[in-house]
Structure formats: structure tokens, C-alpha cells
Amino acid sequence: MDGVIENDMPTSKQESEAVREKIRQLENRQKILLNRKADAERKARTHRLIERGARWNRLCWKSCGNCSGSFHRMKSGLCAL
């Protein structure tokens, strides 16, 4: 009977270690998913800002007409908006 109890103890230790390992794996998986979500949000924000900048740039150049690329002419075109 003592042999059965001794055999049960390592099994329960093994089970508890297996559960701890599973918890650790799930926590790491959660970190990975949160990092992916943050990366996706950052990429979306960057894309949105680039699109807005491109639209603003297009508007500036249209308002300047045939600018030579001079900063002052572009600035005056912005002020005209």
C-alpha cells in the first residue's frame, strides 16, 4: 500500500508540473498575441498618418500651382488654404 501512495505522489507532482508548464505556455502565447495586436495597431496608425500626409501634400501642391519646389511658395500656398 505504501508503494501505491509513493507512486501517486510523483504522478501528482508530474501533473502539477505539467499544469504549471501549460500555464506558462498559455501566458507566453498571450504575450505573443498582445504583441501582434500592438504591432497591427501601430502599422495601421502609421499607414493612416502616411495617407493623411500624402493627401495634405497633394493639396498643397495643387494650391501652389506650378511651384518650383520652393519652401516659401509652398508655405504661401498653405496659408492661402
Q: What is the pTM of this model?
A: 0.55
Cα distance between residue 71 and residue 53, in whole Å:
16
User: Mean pLDDT by 10-residue block, N- to C-terminus, for the chain (81 residues)?
Assistant: 52 90 98 98 95 84 60 58 54
With 0-12 CB in 10 A as exposed, 13-18 as middle and 19+ as buried, what is 61?
Answer: middle
What is the tally of structural domains in the chain? 1
Residues spanned by the domain of 41: 2-80
Q: What is the predicted pLDDT for the residue at 70? A: 58
Q: What is the predicted pLDDT for the residue at 64? A: 61
With 0-12 CB in 10 A as exposed, 13-18 as middle and 19+ as buried, what is 57?
Answer: exposed
Task: Give residue 23's identity as a one-letter amino acid code.
Answer: I
Cα distance between residue 40 and residue 60, in whole Å:
30
Nearest to 60 by CA among 40, 44, 76: 76
